[in-house]
């Protein structure tokens, strides 16, 4: 059996969120356990003279970490990936800070990763590239003579054509994507938007596209979680979970868990909670909103601005509504171990997942997996999260509509048990079928099918 070679911006084991972090590692766990594999990516180290790649093993996976120079780290990671592609793909044109030099650094970083990979690659390896940091990688590898199957999965949304066209180098990126054998998206609407931006492919039969002198496949693979493991995890006794429950007493818990990122819609969510308290004096003192928001990409200025904005908004709500024995909003800027998060989800009556745009959103799926079947909580979910396609039992809201979020909060808190159970059951069935293992295996078999023996 040939190896699976995974390439992602970060290698596993560098989570900064307390606990074992690394959503992608969780997603790929089952696939990696089944076959010999190699995982290569940035080690997290920045050095003027990068040392040779670091190596370690985790079960059947060899992990190779490559360091970046400060110039590449700034131009490629902080600027092109996180201050241009991330906001653009999340429809935040006003936050895009395009500079040609950053695109040059992005290409250079992809060359750098490709060079490290060339030293490792074997002829029968299957390569799976992840996410927006590495769009040009297949093109770079093909130019170096690599003929192995190469698949690509985009974890974030693919923007509408008129948004994507604002990126001066959009055409180059699209052309680079044609060098993969399979390009995978979270939802059909992402896939359709990608096909739309291509303009007029020479041929388009089903999901196959012929363009730029290449033939490649597109597909939809909604990422999932290890649902049964997460459900079991959530049901385990938890010291932190018990402390939270004791602290809540009879109060109902609403929970949000998000990287502190402007795509996650936190200011609107906090405003909606304020609106809910304003309109529902009876609920004051009877509900507690816990927002866990570990700091992310603190080196990017827009993220620092968001943090200041939220500090102010949380302070205003607590200043206005808090009592001597009740803090309406607990806003925590640090990460927790996964087991603690699972225990917190399980004790929540409401899960708040209200991103302005999100490729999928795994928190929504984790919240569903963690619920007690006989007394489940209610998920409030943005229609602009990829997860909304599958989770039809959630209360769906438009995250730009603060009144609608406030209404949904009231409805969720007051929802009778039988409705909560039937909504949760529908969602639990979906997340139990569309698991992480299913996602990875569907992608890999579609990739294998692009090269019939
Ligand atoms: C990208 C796409 C897509 C969060 N806080 C803590 C913690 N987390 C974990 C969550 C979840 C993961 O991080 C976040 O995943 P999301 O899917 O919600 O969001 P992104 O990080 O933006 O991921 C997204 C995903 O890729 C996968 O394709 O769904 O749309 O944007 O697992 O639980 N984990 C721990 N402590 C925390 O405090 N341990």
Closest atom of ligand 1 to 24 CA is 27
**pLDDT recorded at residue 21:** 39
Spatial contact of 194 and 158, defined as CB atoms under 8 Å apart:
yes
Q: Which residue has the higher pLDDT, 24 or 350?
A: 350
Which tens digits make up the pLDDT trace of 73-107? 999 999 999 999 999 999 999 999 999 999 999 99
Ligand 1 mean position, distance from CA 86 (Å): 15
Cα(59)–Cα(56) distance, rounded to whole angstroms? 10
Whether residue 363 has its Cβ less than 6 Å from ligand 1: yes
Residue 18: pLDDT over 70: no
What are φ and ψ of residue 38, in 5° steps?
-130, 140
Which tens digits make up the pLDDT trace of 108-117? 999 999 999 9
> Token pair of 75, please?
């131009």
Residue 264: pLDDT over 50: yes
Q: Is 420 helix (H, G, I), strand (E, B) or coil?
A: helix
Residue 452: pLDDT over 80: no
Whether residue 25 has its Cβ less than 6 Å from ligand 1: no
Average pLDDT, the chain: 94
**pLDDT recorded at residue 27:** 84
Whether residue 264 has its Cβ less than 6 Å from ligand 1: no
Nearest Cα residue to atom 26 of ligand 1: 155
Cα(108)–Cα(448) distance, rounded to whole angstroms? 29
**Active-site amino acid positions:** 155, 358
Distances (CA, A) of 106 to 7, 11, 23, 72, 231: 15, 18, 23, 8, 39
Burial grade of 170 (CB within 10 A; 0-12, 13-18, 19 or more): middle
Cα(359)–Cα(226) distance, rounded to whole angstroms? 18
Residue 219: pLDDT over 50: yes
Q: Which residues contact 416 (CB under 8 A, 6 or more apart)?
A: none
Helices and strands (H, E) in the chain, number of each type: 17, 16
Ligand 1 mean position, distance from CA 301 (Å): 21
Spatial contact of 256 and 291, defined as CB atoms under 8 Å apart:
yes
Strands 208-211 and 203-205: antiparallel
**pLDDT recorded at residue 156:** 97
Ramachandran category for residue 132: left, alpha or beta (phi over 0 → left; psi -120 to 50 → alpha): alpha
Residue 167: pLDDT over 60: yes
Mean pLDDT value across residues 379-403: 98
Partners of 126 in beta bridges? 4
Spatial contact of 345 and 255, defined as CB atoms under 8 Å apart:
yes
pLDDT tier at 22, thresholds 50, 70, 90: low
Ligand 1 pocket mutation, candidates 362, 368, 381, 391, criterion most atoms within 8 A of CB: 362
Ligand 1 mean position, distance from CA 207 (Å): 29
Nearest Cα residue to atom 27 of ligand 1: 155
pLDDT tier at 304, thresholds 50, 70, 90: confident
Mean pLDDT value across residues 183-210: 88
Q: Which of 325, 346, 434 is nearest to 389 (CA)?
A: 434
Ligand 1 pocket mutation, candidates 16, 19, 23, criterion most atoms within 8 A of CB: 23
Q: Where are the alpha helices (DSSP H) in 63-99?
A: 70-72, 86-89
Full-model pTM = 0.96
Cα(391)–Cα(378) distance, rounded to whole angstroms? 11
Whether residue 336 has its Cβ less than 6 Å from ligand 1: yes
Which tens digits make up the pLDDT trace of 323-354? 999 999 999 999 999 999 999 999 999 999 99
The 208-211 sheet, strands edge to edge: 54-58, 61-68, 37-46, 4-10, 126-130, 150-153, 182-185, 214-220, 208-211, 203-205
Distances (CA, A) of 98 to 75, 88, 169, 237, 374: 11, 10, 10, 49, 51
Cα(166)–Cα(96) distance, rounded to whole angstroms? 10
Ligand 1 mean position, distance from CA 23 (Å): 6
How close are the terminal C-alpha atoms of the chain, in Å? Answer: 14
Whether residue 356 has its Cβ less than 6 Å from ligand 1: no
Q: What is the dihedral of CA 234, 236, 242, 248, to 10 degrees?
A: 30
């Amino acid at each position: 059996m040939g190896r699976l070679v995974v390439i992602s911006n970060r290698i596993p084991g560098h989570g900064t969120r307390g606990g074992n972090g690394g959503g992608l590692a969780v997603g790929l766990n089952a696939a990696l356990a089944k076959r010999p594999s190699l995982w290569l990516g940035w080690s997290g180290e920045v050095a003027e003279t990068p040392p040779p790649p670091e190596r370690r093993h985790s079960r059947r996976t060899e992990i190779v970490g490559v360091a970046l120079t400060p110039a590449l780290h700034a131009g490629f990671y902080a600027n092109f990936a996180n201050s241009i592609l991330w906001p653009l793909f999340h429809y935040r044109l006003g936050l895009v800070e395009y500079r040609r030099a950053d695109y040059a650094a992005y290409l250079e970083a992809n060359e750098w990763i490709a060079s490290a990979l060339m030293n490792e690659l074997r002829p029968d390896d299957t390569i799976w590239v992840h996410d927006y940091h590495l769009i040009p990688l297949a093109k770079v590898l093909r130019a170096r003579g690599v003929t192995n199957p190469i698949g690509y999965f985009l974890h974030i949304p693919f923007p509408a054509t008129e948004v994507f066209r604002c990126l001066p180098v959009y055409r180059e990126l699209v052309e680079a994507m044609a060098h993969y054998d399979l390009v995978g998206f979270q939802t059909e609407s992402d896939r359709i938007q990608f096909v739309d931006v291509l303009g007029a492919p020479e041929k388009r039969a089903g999901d196959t596209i012929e363009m730029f002198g290449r033939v490649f496949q597109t597909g939809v693979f909604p990422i999932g979680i290890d649902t049964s493991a997460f459900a079991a995890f959530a049901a385990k006794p938890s010291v932190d979970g018990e402390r939270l429950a004791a602290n809540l007493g009879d109060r109902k818990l609403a929970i949000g868990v998000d990287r502190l990122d402007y795509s996650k819609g936190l200011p609107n969510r906090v405003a909606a909670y304020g609106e809910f308290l304003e309109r529902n004096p009876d609920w004051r003192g009877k509900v507690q909103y816990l927002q866990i928001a570990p700091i992310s990409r603190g080196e990017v200025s827009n993220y620092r601005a968001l943090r200041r904005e939220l500090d102010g908004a949380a302070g205003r709500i607590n200043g206005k509504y808090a009592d001597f024995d009740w803090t309406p909003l607990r806003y925590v800027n640090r990460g927790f171990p996964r087991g603690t998060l699972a225990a917190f989800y399980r004790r929540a009556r409401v899960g708040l997942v209200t991103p302005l745009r999100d490729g999928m959103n795994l928190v929504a799926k984790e919240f569903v997996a963690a619920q007690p079947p006989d007394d489940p909580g209610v998920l409030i979910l943005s229609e602009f999260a990829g997860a909304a396609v599958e989770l039809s039992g959630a209360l769906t809201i438009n995250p730009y509509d603060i009144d609608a979020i406030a209404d949904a909060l009231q409805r969720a808190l007051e929802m009778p048990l039988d409705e909560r159970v039937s909504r949760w059951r529908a969602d639990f069935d979906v997340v139990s079928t569309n698991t992480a293992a299913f996602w990875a295996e569907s992608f890999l078999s579609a990739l294998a099918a692009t090269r019939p023996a």
